[in-house]
Chains A and B, each alone.
Chain A
């Protein structure tokens, strides 16, 4: 399981829980869950690459900033991504995001207005990392 949607959280919005073997994979899966809420990521081809770097000493805030970039590119450049490569080093994040401009082959689902900080959580349990995120729809 990369991520699952939560049924009984935040009635008018969409909540998900993602998992990763490490923080990099966790952030990648959160990015995928966010994008999959907006479009069917299977219909997005990795034609364009965007590289971003971010910094925050709070891991949850870093995740908030990272996922907010996805909603930014959606409106500002009409770009959706289906593949993410994340590298977290201390308080720094570098991500490569692969995708394409919205077109009639991409199946649209929902506009994610924003990433919320409501219940936002990153935690390590045994061997895996987990995150809970509520998206504003």
Chain B
């Protein structure tokens, strides 16, 4: 037993960066909960995290442990940073373990430009990106799709983009699941979801979503050999990072099925600790319907980030008067961090198919995994961790330890420590924009209030988060990036 304020007294220290809450903590817990955090990060976690991760541990069919990653914080249903894997036969699927923004994720691309090339044109570049990739509410994408075309997107995901001139086959190889989750069925999606989403493909959204122009610095290249494999070769190299998801389309699918699952819970007399954790047996009709609809949203999100990549290439071309190929604007990777997927993992030494929920958690497959694209199979999967717009972001690589310990999962961001409501009482958007510009970060935002809520002070220290991942060895640090230009919703 260990005594840390704020933290359940039953918590056991497994290592310097792994903590366990035993099943005796709460009635109904089927497995212990494990939290990956340094002692500092653990102390800073809000009490909601401990309550929520132990609620997850009560869900039927859960395997090994309910996990929370070092960026964990209070969410709804699962904590953000939550991971859980369920038996396919006896286990459940829960929209609250995926989030409303189905397949919210990160995408990273490189360029061969350096800071010296970009700095003189940074403002026109960011202004053009702000125009080409609409943000905020009321934003319409440049794509005009018929309902049938949108249904093709739901089934084919990022592949649709290659067929329609918005990307290359090389891009697709560097997307988790190759940009398309199998089993998507548009007949399981409501007309309302289609109406909400059809005009929004190619848009960023709001909240913590962003598109960022970033630079590498020499002191932030931690593993040069692996960095090179991911396309990071030069100090001062410019990269572009995108954080967004399935937009109103996914939000409506999650909303629709949350209602369905709550009805099922009442009918089946399944008790649940939080209605946001409503679930249904994965193999039930409702469970399968949701999975098929979720896959539609996930595929739309892969497509959304792919068309955004296309718009970024167009913008760079226009500003630097060069073809994207000449600027080597290549994909590093695209990861989903709000998702449930059927994956094969080892449990007690035996291979087993499980439904892994990651809510604010990134897949972190280690070297040799057959799912990985050939180019990366020997080094492991690129893991993209988005930080706050003031403090920078990181590229890491997946590990064997993650495969053995966390169902191949790791953190997804730096994690908030302060609520939005509190942040905006402390920060003014326009002042923040000016002070960031002085620090060399040019920001355009659709909402000044939204900008204030995303201030760096509202987030955990990202170095502490990635160093914890490194110590726990559930992913290894490769490169750190510093923001220089940012567009926000």
Contacts and interface: CB of A to CB of B under 8 A. Distances in A.
A20 B200 CA distance: 35
Interface stretch (A21-29, A85-93, A104-112, A124-132): A104-112
Interface string B435-451: 00000000000110110
A108 B445 CA distance: 11
A116 B258 CA distance: 9
Most chain B CB atoms below 10 A, which of A9, A12, A65, A134: A12
Given A10-B76, A116-B276, A111 B206 contact: yes
B255 A115 contact: yes
Nearest to B205: A111
Contacts of A117: 76, 96, 258, 262, 274-276, 278
Nearest to A77: B195
Interface stretch (B30-38, B403-411, B418-426, B477-485): B418-426
A110 B450 contact: yes
A74 B137 contact: yes
Contacts of A12: 73-75, 80, 207-208, 416, 419-420
Interface residues of B, number: 51
A82 interface: no
Interface string A1-26: 00001111111111100000000000
Interface in A15-45: 15, 38-39
B420 A61 contact: no
A11 B459 CA distance: 10
Given A64-B259, A113-B207, A8 B419 contact: yes
Nearest to A71: B251
Interface in B176-206: 192, 195-197, 200, 205-206
B192 A72 contact: yes
A78 interface: yes
A61 B136 contact: no
Most chain A CB atoms below 10 A, which of B75, B192, B421, B422: B421
Given A14-B420, A102-B137, A111 B76 contact: no
Contact of B420 (A72, A74, A75, A137): A137
B215 interface: no
Interface of A: 5-15, 38-39, 60-61, 64-65, 68, 71-72, 74-76, 78, 102, 108-111, 113-120, 134, 136-137
Given A7-B422, A11-B74, A65-B259, 11 more contacts: A8-B422, A13-B420, A64-B259, A78-B138, A109-B450, A110-B207, A111-B206, A117-B258, A118-B274, A119-B76, A119-B274
